């Protein structure tokens, strides 16, 4: 009698990531889509894996920020200006005073509140910087690599003790799937 893993049609990537046969079909479709594309465009695929639910979804590059909004709280103009002033040699108190004069006390308080709320909630490492880095890597890999790898974001949990975990970005080539099923990367 086949193991329960074999009956369920499970497979694994080289990274030991747990995927179902349906996920592998989606991965193959994404690779085919990349193979057929002759130029970079916003419709290229990014795969998102919600590990705990074993749900794999496809989103286009142009809709990624809508589907998975990056945390931009650190990029608030009030906080950027504050960091610039401190880096230029002003004391923290003086830099804060200048920001209050430039932006207003309410705007500065809101920027700090949003920043600390994001820190408490957890950003899963998905910031404006990491989002832009993914886009840059994708463009480079699209232009230089053959066959082209598909970006897969393994989403961290947003609640409970694991909420401070980080999303993981994997670049999966066409030969990625195979080997024995693994449960190593399932929900903690």
Give percent of the chain above pLDDT 90. 52
Is the per-residue pLDDT at 184 higher than 80?
A: no
Report the pLDDT averaged over residues 50-61: 87
Query: How does pLDDT run across 88-142, given as a tens digit for each residue?
Result: 999 999 999 999 999 999 999 999 999 998 887 777 878 889 999 999 999 999 9
Q: Tokens in use for 17?
A: 């990531």
Is the per-residue pLDDT at 148 higher than 80?
A: yes
Report strand pairing: 55-60 vs 168-172. Answer: unpaired
Q: Please report the pLDDT score of residue 133 as a whole number.
A: 94
Q: Please report the pLDDT score of residue 173 as a whole number.
A: 85
Contact 52, 187 (CB under 8 A): yes
What is the 3-class SS of the chain, one letter each residue?
CCCHHHHCCEEEECCCCEEEHHHHHHHHHHHHHHHHCCCCCCCCEEEEEEHHHCEEEEEEHHHHHHHCCCECHHHCHHHHHHHHHHHCCCCHHHHHHHHHHHHCHHHHHHHHHHHHHHHHHCCCCCEHHHHHHHHHHHHHHHHHCCCCCEEEEEECCCCCHHHHCCCEEEEECCCCECCCCCCCCCCC
Q: Please report the pLDDT score of residue 77 as a whole number.
A: 94
Q: Please report the pLDDT score of residue 127 as a whole number.
A: 86
């Amino acid at each position: 009698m086949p193991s329960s893993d074999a009956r369920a049609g499970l497979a694994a990537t080289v990274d030991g990531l747990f995927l179902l046969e349906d996920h592998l079909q989606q991965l193959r479709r994404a690779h085919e889509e990349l193979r057929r594309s002759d130029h970079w465009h916003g419709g290229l695929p990014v795969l998102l894996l919600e590990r705990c639910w074993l749900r794999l979804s496809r989103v286009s590059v142009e809709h990624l920020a809508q589907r998975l909004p990056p945390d931009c709280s650190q990029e608030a103009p009030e906080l950027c200006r504050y960091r610039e002033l401190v880096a230029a040699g002003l004391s923290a108190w003086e830099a804060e005073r200048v920001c209050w004069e430039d932006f207003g006390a309410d705007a500065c308080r809101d920027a700090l509140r949003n920043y600390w709320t994001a820190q408490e909630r957890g950003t899963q490492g998905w910031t404006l910087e990491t989002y832009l880095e993914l886009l840059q890597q994708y463009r480079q890999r699209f232009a230089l690599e053959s066959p082209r790898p598909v970006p897969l974001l393994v989403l961290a949990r947003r609640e409970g003790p694991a909420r401070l975990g980080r999303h993981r970005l994997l670049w999966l080539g066409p030969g990625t799937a195979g080997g024995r099923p693994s449960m190593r990367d399932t929900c903690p």
